[in-house]
């Protein structure tokens, strides 16, 4: 994995709903969340499925043999019943779940903020090292110390070009007003360097999006981040109209939970070199077919404009 892996980064261009089934609370159709952290994520099975669809059509269409090697091949009942003709195989490409990296939250200044936290960055750093991705030094321990003040009031770490902060002339300190929280804002040069790297990896040819990220990202305390990702998701009421009477059909009013537009997630992709004897394709070369970025449709409600994402791919050794 260390030598044959990529990191993929997801930018949600519209709200995204990958459902967890029927809910038991006020939200009838919640989105997928990690069991332990309750943080939203995109399942690896969904990520892999939309990639297969991407490589099955359009300018990046691949031969059927390549698709079978990369994403796996099943067999029909007739093939299974024929002795010696079972050519099923698992896909060589392995795609992990996409974990949350930055969550968009309304801000009094700067319109909205990309919020992250030390625990998210610790997991990100660990995954980057596993994928052998070179990135600027990120001192997560120092960030953890900075977001907790001596008075037990949360602080936030921002980029040097941040537009989220407002100067408090009485205390001569910068303040952030994110959702209903008011924090002190502090800068950290190491964090600034890391954000500059992240913006280039995520939006390589899009300077406008790069500046949006650098000007609006903030590190908040783990507990504050937990509040944001559990209480500030997008809840959308949905209805179905009875065409005969032009009113809501019986039982056709429900609430859906969405990962908000501008959410940023990441995951890992690698290629297993061991394939069935019937294939001649080198699994290690499959990753070379990944373009610099792709636009994919994932999750439900695509016909109402949901689930549009951009995937960017970071190679090992990139800096």
Residues 152-166: tens digit of each pLDDT: 567 999 999 999 999
Q: Are residues 253 and 175 in the same domain?
A: no
| Three-state secondary structure call for residue 281 | coil
User: Which residue range forms the structural domain that includes residue 244?
Assistant: 21-31+235-258
Q: Are residues 265 and 253 in the same domain?
A: no
pLDDT mean over 13-32: 86
Q: Are residues 215 and 196 in the same domain?
A: yes
Give pTM, 2 decimals. 0.89
- Count of other CB atoms within 10 angstroms of residue 311: 24
Q: What pLDDT, on a 0 to 100 scale, did the predictor assign at position 85? A: 47
- Count of other CB atoms within 10 angstroms of residue 249: 13
Question: Exposed, middle or buried, 194 (CB in 10 Å: 0-12/13-18/19+)?
Answer: buried
| Three-state secondary structure call for residue 155 | strand
Q: Are residues 244 and 170 in the same domain?
A: no
For the cut 80, the answer to whether the pLDDT of residue 132 exceeds it is: yes
Reported as a pLDDT band with limits 50, 70 and 90, residue 307 is very high
- Rounded to 10 degrees, the C-alpha dihedral 23/28/33/34 comes to -10
Q: Are residues 85 and 73 in the same domain?
A: yes
Cβ–Cβ < 8 Å for 313, 293: yes
Q: Are residues 133 and 168 in the same domain?
A: yes
Q: Are residues 200 and 227 in the same domain?
A: yes
pLDDT mean over 295-308: 92
Q: 84 or 218: which carries more pLDDT confidence?
A: 218
Q: Are residues 148 and 208 in the same domain?
A: yes
For the cut 70, the answer to whether the pLDDT of residue 111 exceeds it is: yes
Crossing angle of helices 222-231/118-130, nearest 10°? Answer: 90
pLDDT mean over 250-272: 91
For the cut 50, the answer to whether the pLDDT of residue 1 exceeds it is: no
Reported as a pLDDT band with limits 50, 70 and 90, residue 77 is very low
Q: pLDDT above 90 covers what percent of the chain?
A: 60
| Residue from 5, 68, 74 nearest 281 by CA | 68
pLDDT mean over 48-61: 90
Its sign, for the CA torsion 238, 240, 245, 246, is positive
pLDDT mean over 174-192: 94
- Residue 101 neighbours by CB under 8 Å, 6+ apart: 9, 116, 120, 124, 264, 265, 266
Cβ–Cβ < 8 Å for 224, 154: yes
Q: What pLDDT, on a 0 to 100 scale, did the predictor assign at position 200? A: 96
pLDDT mean over 39-45: 96
Q: What is the DSSP letter of 58?
A: G
| Number of domains the chain contains | 2
Reported as a pLDDT band with limits 50, 70 and 90, residue 78 is very low
Residue 188's φ and ψ, nearest 5 degrees, are: -145, 120
For the cut 60, the answer to whether the pLDDT of residue 86 exceeds it is: no
For the cut 90, the answer to whether the pLDDT of residue 119 exceeds it is: yes
Q: Are residues 223 and 293 in the same domain?
A: yes
Paired tokens of 34: 């990690």
Q: Are residues 157 and 249 in the same domain?
A: no
For the cut 70, the answer to whether the pLDDT of residue 282 exceeds it is: no
Q: What pLDDT, on a 0 to 100 scale, did the predictor assign at position 40? A: 97
For the cut 60, the answer to whether the pLDDT of residue 43 exceeds it is: yes
- Count of other CB atoms within 10 angstroms of residue 85: 10
Q: Are residues 274 and 307 in the same domain?
A: yes
Q: Are residues 130 and 252 in the same domain?
A: no
């Amino acid at each position: 994995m260390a030598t044959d892996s990529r990191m993929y980064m997801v930018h949600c261009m519209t709200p995204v709903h990958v459902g967890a089934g029927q809910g038991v609370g006020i939200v009838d159709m919640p989105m997928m969340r990690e069991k332990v952290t309750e943080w939203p994520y995109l399942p690896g099975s969904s990520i892999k499925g939309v990639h297969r669809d991407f490589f099955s059509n359009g300018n990046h269409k691949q031969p059927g043999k390549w698709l079978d090697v990369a994403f796996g091949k099943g067999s029909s009942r007739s093939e299974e019943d024929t002795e010696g003709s079972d050519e099923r195989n698992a896909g060589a490409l392995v795609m992990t779940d996409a974990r949350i990296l930055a969550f968009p939250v309304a801000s009094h200044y700067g319109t909205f903020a990309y919020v992250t936290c030390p625990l998210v960055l610790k997991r990100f750093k660990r995954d980057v090292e596993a994928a052998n991705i070179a990135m600027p030094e990120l001192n997560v321990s120092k960030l953890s110390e900075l977001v907790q003040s001596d008075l037990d009031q949360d602080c936030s770490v921002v980029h040097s070009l941040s537009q989220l902060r407002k100067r408090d002339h009485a205390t001569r300190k910068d303040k952030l007003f994110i959702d209903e929280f008011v924090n002190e804002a502090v800068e950290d040069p190491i964090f600034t360097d890391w954000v500059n790297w992240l913006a280039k990896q995520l939006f390589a040819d899009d300077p406008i999006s790069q500046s949006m990220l650098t000007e609006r990202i903030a590190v908040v305390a783990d507990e504050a981040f937990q509040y944001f990702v559990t209480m500030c998701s997008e809840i959308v009421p949905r209805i179905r109209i009875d065409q005969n009477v032009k009113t809501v059909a019986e039982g056709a009013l429900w609430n859906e939970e969405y990962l908000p537009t501008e959410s940023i997630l990441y995951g890992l992709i690698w290629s297993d070199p061991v394939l069935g004897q019937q294939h001649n394709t080198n699994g290690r070369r499959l990753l070379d077919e990944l373009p610099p970025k792709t636009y994919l449709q994932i999750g439900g409600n695509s016909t109402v404009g949901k689930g549009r994402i951009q995937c960017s791919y970071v190679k090992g050794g990139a800096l």
